[in-house]
A and B are shown apart, each in its own frame.
Chain A
Amino acid sequence: MQYQLKINGETRTVDAEPGTPLLWVLRDELQLTGTKFGCGVAYCGACTVHVDGYPTRSCQTFVEDAVDTDITTIEGATDKIAQAVQEAWREKDVVQCGWCQSGQIMSAIGLLTENPNPTDDEIRDYMNGNACRCVTYVRINEAVKLASQKLEA
């Protein structure tokens, strides 16, 4: 089947079987490999993208359900909030292996879009759906806080 998807502001046409997770369309068909595969069961958050502005697990989003939505991947995360988050991530040297970090960053952007000034507990609760096997949580939480401060300034 052919599907038209709006990804990072561009309309892209892809060939995919119905029922194919958006994750694999992004990675294998469109070479948008910044979105990562971690578990395939919506449990780790490595595949998080934004669908209509909301952090969404692309491993559980069928390609046919992504039609007529606005999809943003890490490659298209370039707005002011995204920049603040990415800068904060670099200043705090959050990353280790890096495999989960696209998903962490997409979730953090979602949090700060919804709640520009989250408390420590709100950060931990919101970010809890994104697992990090290298266990960079201390720095993730500090970086979200720092990004929030950058946006306030």
Chain B
Amino acid sequence: MTINVSRRGFLKASAAGTTALLVGVNAKGVLAAGSSATAATTDLNPFVKIDSDGVVTVIIKHFEMGQGTTTGLTTLVAEELDANWDTVATDFAPADNNRYANLFFGAQGTGGSTSIANSFMQYREAGAAARDLLVRAAAQSWGVDASTITVENGMLSSGSKSGHFGEFVAIAATLEAVAKPAVKTPDQFKLIGSSKLHRKDNTGKTNGSAMFAMDVNLPGMIYAAIMRSPKFGGTVVSFDDSAAKEVGGFIAAQVLPNKAGVVAFGKNTWAAFQARDALSVEWDFSAAETRSTDAMIADHIAMLDAPQFDANHQVPLASVASVLSDAAKTIDAQFTFPFLAHAPLEPENCTIEPVGDGVRVHDGCQFPTLTRPMVAATLGLDPAKVEIKTLYAGGSFGRRANAASDYNVEAAMAFAVSGRKVPVKLVWSREDDIKGGYYRPMSAHRAKIGLDGDGKIVGWDHRLAVKSIAKGGPFEMMVKDGVDPTSVEGVAESLYRLPNMGIGVSDFTTAVPINWWRSVGHTHTGFVMESLMDMVATETGQDPIEMRLSMLDPAGANQARMIEAIKLVREISGWKAGDTRGFAAHYSFNTCVAVVADVTVEDTSVHVNKLFMAVECGVAVNPDVIRAQMEGGAGYALSAIFRNEVTLTDGEVDQYNFPDYELLRNIEMPEIEVAIVASNNAPTGVGEPGVPPTGPAVANAIFAKTGKRIMDLPMTKAGFDFV
């Protein structure tokens, strides 16, 4: 497959004109079409562009961090357009909060595993509208009835006449688009659901030509690295750059305007790193976090005694105590989770380029809706003067989307103190990344589950303490009655029928910046809920799968989907009564994933042999991308639960780089079998939902083999090692 279009045979059409047909939405959010010749003077921002030589370009409103969105959105347009898949090109959308908004957020951004789900009808309708325009244009051109025209692989035909898309774009661009075009029914899909489509980013990412943000090279560009406070929240008092001046290629060092660090400029990345490392900085730690990890864990646990907020208004936590005191038996458990770094393999970086009286931001930009105004504010510019050039992102896992737009703002500050004359590329080292915060927050959970004489759950007291991600920033509007939903998600909307479940939550406070990390609150809530379910099954002598099925209501839409996923994983794994493998299932980002983990434990050495995963994510637009996201999500979970943690000593991060924050390695990767539930439900997320159930499935398998219940993560704390 190639995305380079052969221009042979299209030459005649190209010579005839250079107009391209654009189909997208106008300022009112209504589907509209237009010509590239007049687009600059209209308010049309396209989702699809078809030029006179027949090249179809899909404009991708989401960024690509590997999750497959360029392939996914292209599939939606190409399906309805009946384009030739192999020749469809892609381009990233500019910053435009209205027309390129994530329809679930009402703002432009990628996250929450929503790219396909929010775009599903929008991109299909754009493709269908473009197809309809081309058909009407061909009918006019050929003097035939539109109903006689068929479209296939980028070609229109009627009787003996045929022509490629490009031949009709000039006429099509003069026609009015229909606002609500008819889209295909699932039985008409050729591309949606096909496992034969190859990724659109395959070629560039295997020959070195794909452009990531860190690959930007601009004339006159200088490089920047920042010395940040070794304790979170510290500020610069003074600095000495005399040693930095000895570094070849060093240009200058300056305090950042917000005093959060000192930036060293160099003629290349290496010079900037070397000069930065040679800076000597005096810090003010009066507002800094100075605790060590053990004290912070103890502080989380202490907060469990008196939760600040009730997260289930139907069942106040205080009302559960009497139910539990009447219970025949109770299960008590407490869990703790560490800070985790996202560690995208391309470290954070951003280039700010002066353009006229504004700037261009080169970034693997996950949240243009935040980055644009924050860079503008940092530089005292009108946001309209900030252009965003989105490039491929070498991973994110949530890191590149944060309320502070931290590294974008740092780059803007560096650009500001540099004199704003030349492009400035800010590059983080891996040490900057591991030590730099914006972690998955630490958390602690405590649960008391009451069972009656028959082993049925009669009450559940669930408490947790975690720093809120949403509070105190642009995501504050997510908070309801004091409860940040990302703190309790996965507990509060558990699909299981759990009577008398009270949930109390406390907001931990620390200067350590925290952030969403692939699957957000579900990273800890999924582990806790599915470990607890396993404990209930063990205590009551029930099969873990049968017990869960009995606690799901087939009349509930999502419960029914979860039942399907659980039954499918039971089938592909050949699960039997008395099975000594581990099981877990979790609902997140509107998707149901069920996992069976097969592990071997010798003494304290654990090897995960195989994971069986079943996913219900609605219509499977790109089944192979879904499988890849389940494989990757599972692997991402494994290194985290095995051994990853960011710890602090007197407020300073102990880890520095991959040798002590070890990613999952090739030889540790289990075999994975993924099955997708056949579904005509609207598509739901796949980037994150593979993460939450993987950890508890492995933990439950280790329990089944050893009788040892893992409650403090990572698992190395329980004395296990992984081989």
Closest chain B residue, CB of each to CB of A33 = B215
B1 and A102 contact, CB distance less than 8 A:
no
B658 and A73 contact, CB distance less than 8 A:
no
Chain A residues with CB under 8 Å of B657's CB are: 39-41, 43
B67 and A96 contact, CB distance less than 8 A:
yes
Within 8 A of B (CB), among A50-84: 73-75, 77
Contact of A137 among B208, B212, B431, B666 (CB under 8 A): B666
Q: Is B537 an interface residue (CB 8 A)?
A: no
B658 and A90 contact, CB distance less than 8 A:
no
Chain B residues with CB under 8 Å of A125's CB are: 667
CB A6 to nearest CB in B, in angstroms, measures: 18
B628 and A136 contact, CB distance less than 8 A:
yes
B669 and A97 contact, CB distance less than 8 A:
no
B249 and A17 contact, CB distance less than 8 A:
yes
Within 8 A of B (CB), among A77-99: 77, 86, 89-91, 93-99
Chain A residues with CB under 8 Å of B664's CB are: 135, 137
A44 and B345 contact, CB distance less than 8 A:
yes
Q: Is A152 an interface residue (CB 8 A)?
A: no
B345 and A131 contact, CB distance less than 8 A:
yes
Q: Is B210 an interface residue (CB 8 A)?
A: yes
A135 and B669 contact, CB distance less than 8 A:
yes
Chain A residues with CB under 8 Å of B635's CB are: 134-135, 137
Q: Is A46 an interface residue (CB 8 A)?
A: yes
Closest chain A residue, CB of each to CB of B204 = A98
From B194-202, B230-238, B505-513, B598-606, the one touching the partner chain is: B194-202
Contact of A95 among B66, B270, B271, B396 (CB under 8 A): B66
A97 and B65 contact, CB distance less than 8 A:
yes
Chain B residues with CB under 8 Å of A74's CB are: 207-208
CB B447 to nearest CB in A, in angstroms, measures: 30
Contact of B1 among A34, A46, A90, A105 (CB under 8 A): A90
Within 8 A of A (CB), among B235-285: 248-249, 268-271, 273
Q: Is B217 an interface residue (CB 8 A)?
A: yes
A90 and B201 contact, CB distance less than 8 A:
no
Q: Is B672 an interface residue (CB 8 A)?
A: yes
Q: Is B665 an interface residue (CB 8 A)?
A: yes
Chain A residues with CB under 8 Å of B669's CB are: 135, 137-138
Contact of B206 among A24, A101, A130 (CB under 8 A): A101
A93 and B202 contact, CB distance less than 8 A:
yes
Contact of B345 among A34, A46, A124 (CB under 8 A): A46
Chain A residues with CB under 8 Å of B667's CB are: 124-125, 128
Chain B residues with CB under 8 Å of A73's CB are: 208
Interface size on B, residues (CB 8 A): 65
A98 and B624 contact, CB distance less than 8 A:
no
Chain B residues with CB under 8 Å of A148's CB are: none
From B158-166, B286-294, B387-395, the one touching the partner chain is: B387-395
Q: Is A29 an interface residue (CB 8 A)?
A: yes
Chain B residues with CB under 8 Å of A44's CB are: 345, 658, 663
Interface code B58-77, partner A: CB below 8 Å = 1, 0 otherwise? 00000001111000000000
Kindly state the separation between the CA atoms of A93 and B68 in the bound complex, as whole angstroms: 11
Contact of B198 among A36, A40, A91, A141 (CB under 8 A): A91
Within 8 A of B (CB), among A19-57: 20-21, 24, 27-29, 31-41, 43-44, 46
CB A112 to nearest CB in B, in angstroms, measures: 15
Contact of A34 among B202, B208, B346, B625 (CB under 8 A): B208
Q: Is B688 an interface residue (CB 8 A)?
A: no
Q: Is A7 an interface residue (CB 8 A)?
A: no
Q: Is B453 an interface residue (CB 8 A)?
A: no
Q: Is B607 an interface residue (CB 8 A)?
A: no
Tell me whether A98 and B392 are in contact in the complex, defined as CB-CB below 8 angstroms, given that A36-B346, A140-B666 are known contacts.
Answer: yes
Q: In this complex, which of B203, B659, B666 has the most chain A Cβ atoms within 10 angstroms of its Cβ?
A: B666
Interface code B210-228, partner A: CB below 8 Å = 1, 0 otherwise? 1110110100000100000
Q: Is B631 an interface residue (CB 8 A)?
A: yes
Q: Is A5 an interface residue (CB 8 A)?
A: no
Closest chain B residue, CB of each to CB of A85 = B206
Q: Is B32 an interface residue (CB 8 A)?
A: no
CB A71 to nearest CB in B, in angstroms, measures: 14
Tell me whether A17 and B205 are in contact in the complex, defined as CB-CB below 8 angstroms, given that A33-B215, A33-B217 are known contacts.
Answer: no
Within 8 A of A (CB), among B375-398: 392-397
Tell me whether A97 and B223 are in contact in the complex, defined as CB-CB below 8 angstroms, given that A91-B198, A131-B665 are known contacts.
Answer: no
Q: Is B671 an interface residue (CB 8 A)?
A: yes
Q: Is A150 an interface residue (CB 8 A)?
A: no
B634 and A90 contact, CB distance less than 8 A:
no
Chain A residues with CB under 8 Å of B642's CB are: none
Tell me whether A98 and B628 are in contact in the complex, defined as CB-CB below 8 angstroms, given that A37-B214, A91-B198, A138-B671 are known contacts.
Answer: no
Within 8 A of A (CB), among B336-357: 343-347
Within 8 A of A (CB), among B645-680: 657-659, 663-667, 669, 671-672
Chain B residues with CB under 8 Å of A131's CB are: 345, 658, 663, 665
CB B216 to nearest CB in A, in angstroms, measures: 8
Within 8 A of A (CB), among B2-45: none
Contact of A89 among B202, B430, B666 (CB under 8 A): B202
A43 and B666 contact, CB distance less than 8 A:
no
A133 and B202 contact, CB distance less than 8 A:
no
Kindly state the separation between the CA atoms of A95 and B198 in the bound complex, as whole angstroms: 11
Chain A residues with CB under 8 Å of B217's CB are: 28, 31, 33
Tell me whether A96 and B68 are in contact in the complex, defined as CB-CB below 8 angstroms, given that A33-B208, A90-B202 are known contacts.
Answer: yes
Closest chain B residue, CB of each to CB of A38 = B345
Chain B residues with CB under 8 Å of A101's CB are: 205-206
Q: Is B632 an interface residue (CB 8 A)?
A: yes
B394 and A99 contact, CB distance less than 8 A:
yes
Closest chain A residue, CB of each to CB of B433 = A39
B207 and A86 contact, CB distance less than 8 A:
yes
Q: Is B636 an interface residue (CB 8 A)?
A: yes
Within 8 A of A (CB), among B583-611: none
Q: Is B429 an interface residue (CB 8 A)?
A: yes
B632 and A135 contact, CB distance less than 8 A:
yes
Closest chain B residue, CB of each to CB of A43 = B658
B672 and A97 contact, CB distance less than 8 A:
no
B268 and A24 contact, CB distance less than 8 A:
yes
Kindly state the separation between the CA atoms of A133 and B394 in the bound complex, as whole angstroms: 9
Q: In this complex, which of A75, A94, A130, A132 has the most chain B Cβ atoms within 10 angstroms of its Cβ?
A: A132
Kindly state the separation between the CA atoms of A30 and B114 in the bound complex, as whole angstroms: 39
Q: List the interface of chain B (C-beta within 8 A of A).
A: 1, 65-68, 198-199, 201-212, 214-215, 217, 223, 248-249, 268-271, 273, 343-347, 392-397, 427, 429-431, 624-625, 628, 631-632, 634-636, 638, 657-659, 663-667, 669, 671-672
Pairs A–B under 8 Å by Cβ, sample size 15: A24-B269, A28-B268, A33-B217, A36-B346, A38-B345, A38-B347, A40-B273, A74-B207, A74-B208, A91-B198, A105-B206, A127-B666, A133-B345, A133-B395, A139-B631
Since A99-B345, A133-B636, A134-B632 are in contact, a sample of 19 more A-B pairs with Cβ atoms closer than 8 Å, ordered by chain A residue number, is A17-B248, A17-B271, A28-B217, A35-B208, A40-B273, A40-B429, A40-B431, A41-B658, A46-B345, A90-B1, A96-B632, A97-B66, A98-B394, A105-B206, A124-B666, A127-B666, A130-B666, A133-B395, A137-B666
